[in-house]
Amino acid sequence: MPRSLPYARMFTTRVLLAIALVALYAQALLPGGDASGLALLFGRFHPLLVHLPIGLLVGALGLFWWNRLGFGLAAAPAVATLVHLGAWAAVAAAWAGLDLEAGGGYGGDGVLYHKIAGMAVATLAVAVVFLDYGRLRQGIEGVHTAPVTRSHKLASLLLFAALVVAGHLGGNLTHGPDFLAEHMPGPLRTLLGGSGRVAFASIEDPGSLPVYAALVQPALDARCVSCHGASQAKGKLRLDTPEGLIAGGTNGEVIVAGQPDASELVRRIRLPASHEEAMPPDGRAGLSVAEATLLEWWIETGASFDLTLQDAEQTPQVSFVLQGLGIGAFPTGIYALDTAPPDSTALVRLEATGISVLRLGESEAYVSLRCSRSDVCLTPEQVAAIDPVAAQVAWLDLSGTDVDDAGLAVVERLPHLERLHLQRTRITDEGIRRLVGREYLTYVNLYGTAVTDSALSVLEGLPALESVYLWQSGVSVEGAARLRERRPGLLVDTGAAAGGQ
């Protein structure tokens, strides 16, 4: 049977294979013009084609070593045929890889090493094909027992190593360097070069989360770093490190701190997926709306790498997104306190005195109080009934009631008062003095009262105050202007549209 092996034809096909290999090297090393449409198409088959040489060559090498180690016998011509087919497949896959690269957008060390490993696979496979040929010829009389030279063994081992390296580096290019290592135990992961970045599995104190590291970089890792990372940096842009984000790409900066609209990176992610400059390209899954919102917000707040969530001012949109992530609401002011919920019988008794009580949200400890009759507000009986829930009173609405300066003494008992409505009451500057020391008071409405400029020093001294309403009060335009000047950020509403009144 061995005598019938068609040596002439075997030789011809091997010569053709060698020519193909030389052409592959020419393609890889000589500068080429623009890739043709057909080449670009062929290039896209690279990720598919690479599986052929892997399967064929690993199969062949497996059989080869199976024989060598004496586990069983596979006919040497069959093994040689597998290697031969595998070598053709390796040349074709490498060729497609070069075409894919020529299509543009690839660069960086990762691509270079993958290319070298891929060329090594093709070269070593062709080498083994020729070594097999020699062996087949020698072994005519006994195919199974033909001597295997040391170079044959070495070439087969190197071929296997090159396959593993090329496959691994190729995988890194498609899936990102962490793909394989992601679920490995720590030491193995470090060995394989994974970054070992840890996810925030449990968040004890969301306010202390760094915005960039916790919310921005993970999105870039997931959607951008496979092309803009250590193994390849398309557009010469790396998005896996702060340095890379600062350095920008071919066309310079991609982030302008404080100005998302002027940031190239933001422009790219906002483009419709079909736009040729859209990121990620080719209709790949891009950032989610939530991820994009957080990224833009991070740039807007100054693109700082150590800003924490609690120090960044949130827009309503951002709060909404953060709430969706379960890290939205950082209690501030009285809501950060550990106040116990009010005693419900005390609330019932309080209502019985003619004060309407409203709970501020289901889980809140706090209540809002309002006199249900404006002509008998804050009687001694009512004040006594407020006492047991004084720590829970956050909002007090006395607007339009007969409350006067003496009645306002009640606020001194309310340590957590946050909003106070005094509009259209008989309160004067004298009563306002009772507000001194209300450290959580954020809102005071004095519309339609006789309060004058001399009350403003008290208001100015309220640390948490955010808004004060002074329309139709005794406060002068100058007084209001002075307050605004001394407390920038405080809303001083005098009802004046523009300068008037």
Contact residues: ligand HEC, CB under 6 A: 105, 223-224, 226-228, 234-235, 237, 239, 248-251, 254, 264-265, 268-269, 277, 279-281, 284, 286-287
Q: Which residue, 32 or 235, is less far from ligand HEC as judged by CB? A: 235
Q: Which residue, 250 or 344, is less far from ligand HEC as judged by CB? A: 250
Q: Which residue, 239 or 369, is less far from ligand HEC as judged by CB? A: 239
* Cα angle value 125/131/132 (rounded, 5°): 90
Structure tokens at 307: 């800003």
* Best CA proximity match to 409, nearest among 427, 394, 393: 427
Q: Which residue, 249 or 431, is less far from ligand HEC as judged by CB? A: 249
Contact 312, 328 (CB under 8 A): no
Q: How far is the CB of 192 from ligand HEC (least distance, A)?
A: 22
What's the CA gap between 338 and 216, in Å, rounded?
32
Helix (H, G, I), strand (E, B) or coil at 14: helix
Q: How far is the CB of 252 from ligand HEC (least distance, A)?
A: 6
Q: How far is the CB of 264 from ligand HEC (least distance, A)?
A: 5
Q: Is 396 exposed, middle or buried (0-12, 13-18, 19+ CB in 10 A)?
A: buried
Q: How far is the CB of 279 from ligand HEC (least distance, A)?
A: 3
Q: Is 470 exposed, middle or buried (0-12, 13-18, 19+ CB in 10 A)?
A: buried
Q: How far is the CB of 238 from ligand HEC (least distance, A)?
A: 10
DSSP of 298-358: HHHTT--SS-BGGGSPPPHHHHHHHHHTT------GGGGS-PPPPPHHHHHHHHHTTEEEE
Q: How far is the CB of 100 from ligand HEC (least distance, A)?
A: 12
Q: How far is the CB of 391 from ligand HEC (least distance, A)?
A: 49
Radius of gyration of the CA atoms of the chain, in A: 38
Q: How far is the CB of 130 from ligand HEC (least distance, A)?
A: 38
Q: Which residue, 224 or 294, is less far from ligand HEC as judged by CB? A: 224
Q: How far is the CB of 108 from ligand HEC (least distance, A)?
A: 11
Helix (H, G, I), strand (E, B) or coil at 274: coil
Structure tokens at 454: 């001399």
DSSP of 106-151: --SHHHHHHHHHHHHHHHHHHHHHHHHHHHHHHGGG-GGGPPPPHH
Q: Which residue, 209 or 265, is less far from ligand HEC as judged by CB? A: 265
Q: How far is the CB of 246 from ligand HEC (least distance, A)?
A: 13
Determine how many CB atoms are found less than 10 A away from the CB of residue 331: 10
Cα-Cα-Cα-Cα dihedral sign, residues 493, 494, 496, 500: negative
The residue number whose beta carbon is nearest to ligand HEC equals: 249
Q: Which residue, 107 or 139, is less far from ligand HEC as judged by CB? A: 107
Q: Which residue, 216 or 394, is less far from ligand HEC as judged by CB? A: 216
Helices (H) and strands (E) in the chain, counts: 19, 7
Structure tokens at 435: 């507000």
Structure tokens at 21: 């290999």
Q: Which residue, 244 or 431, is less far from ligand HEC as judged by CB? A: 244
Q: Which residue, 216 or 410, is less far from ligand HEC as judged by CB? A: 216
